[in-house]
Structures are given as C-alpha cells and as structure tokens.
Chains A and B, each alone.
Chain A
C-alpha cells in the first residue's frame, strides 16, 4: 500500500499535541470543507485532511500509525509482520492505508469482530456529474466509475471498482440532486446498502445562459435591422428558427421564444429569450460613408437629447 504522511498533510510535527492536531485540522477544514469551500480541489484536499485527522485524533490509531515508521509519501510499503500481529491479521493485499485504520476502530477491533451480528448500514456516496446544456435538454446517460471500499465476508475493507450507468432524465438543471437508492457501499450483517447521491452540474454554454429552465442569448442586429425590423435566423437547442424582430427595436430589449427553453420533469418547458444587441459596423467603403452622411443630414435624431432635459429639470 502507499504510504501517506498524515503529519505533513495536517502541517504538524510528529510530536504535536492532540490539541495542536485538532487546531491544524479545524483550520484546514474551514478552508477545504466541500460544504463551505469554493475551492474546486477542496473536496479532494478535505478527504486527505479528514483521513489524516481520523487516525491522528485517536491515541490508539496514532500509536499504530507511528509504529509503521516513516516512508516517503506515495512510496509502496508493507506493515511488518509484528505490526500485523499487533494490530491486524497480516492480510494487507488490496488494502488502502485509510481502510486499514478505519478497520482499527479503537485498537484491534475490526468491523464484524467482537460485536457479533451488529447491523452496519453501507456508506453513502456523493458524486458530481458534469453534463452539457444539450445533454440536459435531451436527457442523457452518464457512466460513473467509482472505487468503493467494502467489507468482505471477514469484515476486512477492500477497494472494489464499480461502474454504474445512470439515466439523467431530460430537463435537469444546474444543482439538481438525484438519489440512487442502494447504490452506495454494501451494508454489513443485514444493514441496508448505502445510497449514491448525484449532483448535476450543467457546464456553461458558449451561446446560451441558463436561469432555471429559461435560456438567454445575445442577438446581434445591424442598425438598419433594428430600425426597419427584420426576420433573422436564430439558434435554439432544437435547431435554428426564424425570429421576427419588430421595427424600432432597441438594444437590451428581450424577445421571448415561448417553450424553447429547458423542459421541466413535470410541466411545461421554459422559454428562450433573445436579448437585442445593436452592432455598429465600421464603414469601410466610400459608398457606405456616403449613405451614413445622407442619413446624418436627413435625420432629426439627437442621441444626447436627454442631457439638456435632465439639466433643465435639475436647475
């Protein structure tokens, strides 16, 4: 198994007091706990920190850990036969360091030993599934590859790979949770199997922005399209459609395309909103400049008319 330096993970000396270990753990937990941290790597870091603290906070487990000696982190090692006799049964094949100490609850006790037929529920797991907006729209199937520590018949932890295919129904939105009953760790001595919880994260889309089941996108228009009105082709998650832009459209106005948003698991679809955005072209030819000059001479439009009105009303 791979050696992990629990003291280095918590940033404490090997002779640190129990209180110092607790303080170091709390400081790191504040920083990395997945329920309070925004650090995307926080969850993995917190797992390491919690694993280190779980062993070092218990005097018995800490003594057993210290007796493993020191090795470079990540180096493969095997506990000595003496260590095995004192703390385990000498069977370390396929066992992770965390599992080894999880099995050492209060010293030599291993799950399933001593407590007779004590029912132990299986462990719950929580995983995040990243899906695209198109997948959320149509529904999708995700494959989850997990390594679950499980007890074998003798109560020893083993890490076993498990693969699940989970159907995510159409209309999932960001942050929605799914529960997969009985798909977590196996229960022991008649305890129920744990559950698997899936956290759906919809990845940002280059065109569409999501608000619940509604979608928004920017629709660029030429000034003459905005003034004269136009029928333009716009993208939707179900292919392009034609949208009629009314005359005298203004920047920032929203045009609603009903039921072109994300479907809801129960009920009607959300809407798609085009937010009008007027793009002023750089007049590159003499003919274009001429047309703009003509427009400037013929128009009474003053874009700064509001300045004078505001100054008058303020005086």
Chain B
C-alpha cells in the first residue's frame, strides 16, 4: 500500500491555540478548560486577556486531563491535582536527566 505523506506541527510554545481551537482539538468543553486554568493545570500566555491564547504544549496536557477524567472518573479539581503532580514528576525526571548527563559515567 502506498504510504501517505503527512505534514507535522510541533507542539511547542511557538505554536499557539485559541480556547475555541483547544475545545475542538481536545474534545473538552469550554467549562472544563476554564476549570483547568482556574486550578492552575494549564496557563494561557495572556491570562489577563478576554481572548485566551495557549502555548502548543498545553494540548498534550489537556488530552492527558481528558483521559484521566474519563478513565478514573475524576472531578475537575482531581484532574488538575493529578496534572500538577505529573508535571512535578516530569520536572524532577528532567532534573535527574540533567544531573546524569553532566556527571562522569565512565568507570575505572
């Protein structure tokens, strides 16, 4: 079968999404996304504005939040708590990675 060529988009801070786009892409409702912002699980780049814009890396976070909500039947603040704890674990893992990368590994 002939392979299709697919164009990819980096989900980094350089790519931004509006609230409406995130609703469409993640399958979450506007209320659910507002609650994730309120509980600090995701942060718009312009929190003071009425037209929120979100950095691209928010999308995987929101998708994880959706999966956790459905799989564990969680309340919005429970989802936000799990997301915050997972973020802390990722930060700690990144720190361990940095320390391991910059220390001598060779023996003898």
Contacts and interface: CB of A to CB of B under 8 A. Distances in A.
B81 interface: no
Interface in B1-16: 1-12, 14
A186 to B, nearest CB: 13
A180 B59 contact: no
Contacts, number: 106
A126 B66 CA distance: 14
A178 B105 contact: no
B73 to A, nearest CB: 8
A179 B10 CA distance: 6
Interface residues of B, number: 37
Interface stretch (A92-100, A158-166, A304-312): A158-166
The secondary-structure label for the interface of chain B is mixed
Interface residues of A, number: 49
A26 B70 CA distance: 12
Contact of A273 (B4, B71, B102): B102
A177 B97 contact: no
B60 to A, nearest CB: 5
Interface of A: 26, 29, 33-36, 50, 121, 124, 126, 143, 161-169, 176-181, 183, 192, 195-198, 209-212, 214, 216, 218, 220, 251-252, 254, 265-266, 273, 275, 277, 279
28 contacts: A29-B71, A29-B72, A33-B68, A33-B71, A35-B68, A35-B86, A126-B63, A163-B1, A163-B3, A164-B3, A165-B3, A165-B5, A166-B6, A168-B8, A177-B10, A179-B8, A179-B59, A180-B6, A197-B11, A210-B101, A211-B98, A211-B102, A212-B98, A216-B101, A251-B104, A252-B104, A265-B12, A275-B103
